[in-house]
Each structure stands twice: as structure tokens, then as C-alpha cells.
A and B are shown apart, each in its own frame.
Chain A
Amino acid sequence: GAGVSQSPSNKVTEKGKDVELRCDPISGHTALYWYRQSLGQGLEFLIYFQGNSAPDKSGLPSDRFSAERTGGSVSTLTIQRTQQEDSAVYLCASSPALRTGGSEAFFGQGTRLTVV
């Protein structure tokens, strides 16, 4: 498709289980972002990939969270030993190559994660 695609759209998991969330960015976009939005809260930055550079992981809330981006395209966000406070909507966005004046960001529809 033409937009940013995320899967699954909804995920319910038991506390303590691991989950993987997938993001397919727009083809050719070099920048990819992961955010999360807890119920009633604003967007929280998690991690950012730019081309082949080392990712900016400064937003990851704990070492249970990790992300990778294979071949500069698809990205997977992994949450190990999920906790109830991990319940949120996880959003992915991509943007074209860095250029003067910034780059348009395009958002996926998100994955709603519920930890029970």
C-alpha cells in the first residue's frame, strides 16, 4: 500500500508474555519512528531510526523494550515480559530523507496493545 502499515491492529496478551509489533514504512523513507500513546496521554517518543545510523533509543522506557529495522525498511518493536503499564497504542511513523526545512511525517494507524 501507499501508507505506513502496522500489524497487528489489536493485540491482547497476558502479563509476562513477549510481543512483537510490526511497522512497514512507506517505500524509500529513510526515517522511522516508534511512539506510544497511553490512554488519555500524549504521544511519547520511543525510538528513531535514520538510514544506516545507530538508532536513537533514548525514549525506550526500560530494557524490556527493543526495536530493530531490517534492511532499512520493516521495523519490529519487541516488548519482553509485558506489564500492564505497557498497555497503550503503539504508533509508527516514517519520513523521507533528512533535508533542509524538515521532512513530512506519515503515521500508521497504530497497534492497540492490551496487557491483561
Chain B
Amino acid sequence: KNEVEQSPQNLTAQEGEFITINCSYSVGISALHWLQQHPGGGIVSLFMLSSGKKKHGRLIATINIQEKHSSLHITASHPRDSAVYICAVQVHNNNDMRFGAGTRLTVKP
């Protein structure tokens, strides 16, 4: 079983829809990252969370440490949001990182 599980693997939405991507992990962590990878491969860090909730524009990330679960929400989705979204955890005490398999999001106009 992978240490970091993401769902869904693929997601297709219509422009304007509210989107949720989920991440569950099984190891003790010091932080969780949500990353965005566009076609062409560049990776951008969206959020780093160790508790609670963060918001940046139309993106919201939440984490529940007790349940070992995090969600990434996109409000009013747009075709430019189409990308692969990756959940990554920093393993507690050693900063090592483990990745989910990613969620491929396609937003249609």
C-alpha cells in the first residue's frame, strides 16, 4: 500500500464547477504539500500545510492531522486549472518526502 493515496486519479469538470481532490497518508508527517504540474512538466508548490486550512485565490487546502487526510478545493474552476495535482508529505523528523500518484484534472470550457 502506498504511503500517500490520492483520489480521484482523473477528474474532468466543466468550467465553473467546484472541485475537490483528496489525499490520505499513513505515515507521521511534519507537513503536507500540494503541488501543481502543468503539461511540460514544471512543478509549482501551491500550499504547505501542517494544520488547519489555507486559501490562495480560488484554491483552498485543508488538513486533518488526526484523520491523516487533506483536501484541495478549487472554486469556480477554469480551463487554465487543467494540470496534475500532486499531494506530497514530509515525513516527521527527517524531512524526507513521499508523493501521491497525482490527480489529472481537465476543466472543459
Contact = CB atoms under 8 A, between A and B. Distances in A.
Interface of A: 31, 33, 35, 37, 41-45, 48, 50, 56, 89, 91, 93, 95, 98, 100-107, 109-110, 112
Contacts of A91: 43
Interface string B32-54: 11010000011111001010000
B90 A103 contact: yes
B97 A105 contact: yes
A17 B97 CA distance: 30
A31 B41 contact: no
Say whether chain B's binding surface is mostly helix, strand, loop, or mixed.
strand
Given A48-B97, A101-B50, A103-B90, A110 B31 contact: no
Contacts of A41: 101
A42 B102 contact: yes
B99 A50 contact: no
B86 interface: yes
Interface string B62-92: 0000000000000000000000001010100
B45 A42 contact: no
B86 A42 contact: yes
B96 A56 contact: yes
Nearest to B50: A101
A43 to B, nearest CB: 4
Given A56-B96, A107-B43, A107-B45, A102 B86 contact: no
B98 interface: yes
A37 B33 contact: no
Contact of B31 (A31, A45, A48, A103): A103
B14 interface: no
A50 B41 contact: no
B98 A105 contact: no
A58 to B, nearest CB: 9
A109 B99 CA distance: 17
Contacts of B12: none
20 contacts: A31-B95, A35-B99, A37-B41, A42-B100, A43-B86, A45-B97, A45-B98, A48-B97, A50-B94, A50-B95, A89-B41, A91-B43, A98-B94, A100-B30, A101-B30, A102-B30, A103-B31, A103-B95, A107-B35, A107-B43
